[in-house]
Amino acid sequence: MKNATQVILESIKSDAKSLAVLIDPDKMSIEHVEGFINMVNTSIATHIFVGGSEVGEGVTEALVIEIKKYTKLPVILFPGDVIQITDKADGILFLSLISGRNPEYLIGKHVEAVSKLKQTNLKVMPCGYILIENGKETSVERVSQTKPLKRNDIQNIVDTAKAGELLGMKLIYLEAGSGATHPVEPEIISKVKRELNITLIVGGGIRSKTELESAYKAGANLVVIGTAFEEDEAFFDNLQK
Ligand SMILES: CC(C)=CCC/C(C)=C/CC/C(C)=C/CC/C(C)=C/COP(=O)(O)OP(=O)(O)O
Ligand SMILES: O=P(O)(O)OC[C@@H](O)CO
Ligand SMILES: [Mg+2]
């Protein structure tokens, strides 16, 4: 039997086309988890991400325990803050917000997280997190007090992603922001992918199968979708195995 760590490492890899369903602990009630996860299980989703920009103490842990009752998919923390760390998940995206210049989100929270992480068996996945403007202010922008990269300055986006790789990050996440009006454009995805030798995650504002497929076609290895499921669970019908 493969353990959860192996499964995660092998499943988020640079030749895969994976889909993570993002569950925001603020928006999912414990009572609704069983039904929701049953829909996830019958879909093409390969991962469950759990996280939000602002989540109360203990909420994430209770949610992860409930999710784990109903699925074998890897559950990965996607935390906006240290209090979202729980050893009940399989892994954690150890995000550094490399599009911004706020030291707290570049390295501060990470130092704070170490004593907690040492008490867990979480698979820690270093991830360069790049926020790209989408036409409106995002929660990440507000919480981190940073500005996103301009979407027409593609060279700067490419160089930022490459700098993350050269620093040793194992994943790069191009983020338009939760509920973005404009997802990350295929041209940006493909130019970043061409320069990278590591796995590329793309998320923010993807609401249709066509947008999902064009992100894969452009080079995304893992796409993250949250808001589209929050707004209409019938979206799962389009994403059956
Ligand atoms: C190192 C640790 C443990 C924490 C810090 C990690 C960093 C640097 C995070 C970057 C900044 C940040 C606030 C990321 C949040 C990512 C996330 C889960 C976004 C989803 O946002 P929602 O909470 O869904 O936003 P809405 O509520 O607006 O939909
Ligand atoms: O909620 P959506 O817009 O799908 O975005 C997913 C994720 O990239 C947000 O951090
Ligand atoms: Mg959201």
Exposure string of 131-155, with b = 16+ CB inside 10 Å and e = fewer, is bbbbeeebebbebbebebbebeebe
Mark the ranges of the chain whose per-residue pLDDT is less than 70: 1-15
Question: Considering only CA atoms, which of 57, 1, 10, 6 is closest in space to residue 222?
Answer: 10
pTM of the model: 0.96
> Which residue segments constitute the domains of the chain, with CATH numbers given?
4-235 (3.20.20.390)
* CA 22 to ligand 3 center in whole angstroms: 8
Show binding-site residues for Mg(2+).
24, 53
CA–CA gap between residue 158 and residue 188 (Å, rounded): 8
Q: Could you tell me if the CB of 220 is within 6 A of ligand 2?
A: no
Task: Report the separation in Å between the CA atom of 111 and the middle of ligand 2, taken as the mean of its atom positions.
Answer: 26
pLDDT in tens, 216-236: 999 999 999 999 999 999 999
224: tokens are 């993250």
Model ipTM?
0.97
